[in-house]
């Protein structure tokens, strides 16, 4: 089905697929997946309706979900958060910013999320200013078009997501928020001592991802590594 849908997009629509594989970073997959649905909503409906012979129950379910405006508002809310918040955040943590300078970004983001939890109107403006001026959000034409159509219906969902994200920040990033131990400018000595600190655990995650792939496709190759790292009794 994947090859057929890609062929449909290439030949019939003259576009490439924006639908992501879920074998990617766990942080932004949900939000990026929502963006891909927004971009390809009409394509999915057209493909299943007009180019799929005798669609099975799974495809019928996908079609029903994609056509449902109530569900689409929820998907669109996730896509907006991706565009305005999580993707710029991902650009930030993949940058060369110093670990101890992250408070300069996290504190303004946290303030915005608390504001949007109460009133998400600003987040739904088509010309909204970037949360991080150094890492601005991309202007997605499909997303901007649908924001204008569905903004009033999405406000509750967007506010709920912002509230959840602010709570996560307070739990996971409290050291960088107000009164945290890294919540203000650090000394040059401490910056030198921590200059090699990574902003993500992607390198470690990649190793486990490679191991997972090896265990599924090359069992005999993977087993020595597993045995080597297993706790010896």
Residue 63 has a CB neighbour count (10 Å cut-off) of: 17
Report the pLDDT averaged over residues 157-176. 95
Q: Give alpha helix (H) positions in the chain.
A: 2-11, 29-50, 57-67, 69-81, 87-93, 103-118, 141-172, 188-193, 202-217, 219-229
* Helix 29-50 with 2-11: angle, nearest 10 deg: 80
pLDDT at 1 over 60: no
Pick from 8-12, 52-56, 78-82, 226-230: least confident: 226-230
Query: What secondary structure letter does DSSP report for 55?
Result: -
Q: What is the pTM of this model?
A: 0.80
Question: Which one, of 122, 207, 130, lies nearest residue 159 by Cα?
Answer: 122
The position carrying tokens 């996290």 is 106
Residue whose C-alpha is closest to residue 172's, from 201, 194, 196, 192: 201
pLDDT of res. 228 = 46
173: helix, coil or strand? Answer: coil
Crossing angle of the two packed helices 69-81 and 141-172, in degrees rounded to 10: 70
**For residues 113 and 169, is the Cβ–Cβ distance under 8 A?**
yes
In the predicted structure, residue 70 carries a pLDDT above the cut 50: yes
For the chain, the residue count is 233
Query: Which has the higher per-residue pLDDT, 144 or 171?
Result: 171
> What is the rounded (10 degree) CA torsion for 60, 64, 66, 67?
130
Confidence bin at 153 (pLDDT 50/70/90): confident
């Amino acid at each position: 089905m994947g090859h057929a849908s890609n062929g449909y997009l290439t030949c019939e629509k003259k576009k490439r697929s924006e639908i992501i594989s879920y074998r990617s970073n766990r942080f932004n997959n949900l939000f990026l997946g929502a963006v891909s649905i927004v971009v390809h909503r009409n394509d999915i409906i057209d493909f299943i309706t007009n180019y799929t012979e005798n669609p099975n129950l799974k495809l019928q379910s996908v079609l029903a979900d994609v056509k449902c405006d109530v569900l689409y508002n929820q998907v669109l809310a996730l896509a907006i958060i991706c565009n305005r918040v999580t993707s710029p955040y991902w650009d930030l943590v993949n940058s060369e910013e110093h670990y101890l300078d992250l408070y300069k970004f996290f504190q303004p983001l946290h303030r915005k999320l608390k504001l949007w939890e109460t009133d998400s109107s600003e987040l739904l403006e088509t010309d909204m200013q970037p949360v991080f001026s150094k890492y601005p959000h991309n202007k997605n034409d499909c997303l901007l078009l649908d924001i204008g159509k569905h903004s009033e219906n999405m406000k509750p969902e967007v506010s709920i997501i912002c509230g959840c994200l602010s709570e996560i920040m307070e739990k996971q990033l409290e050291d960088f928020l107000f009164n945290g131990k890294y919540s203000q400018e650090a000394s040059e000595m401490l910056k030198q001592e921590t200059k090699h600190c990574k902003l993500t655990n992607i390198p470690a995650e990649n190793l486990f991802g490679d191991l997972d792939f090896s265990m599924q496709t090359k069992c005999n190759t993977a087993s020595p590594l597993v045995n080597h790292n297993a706790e010896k009794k």
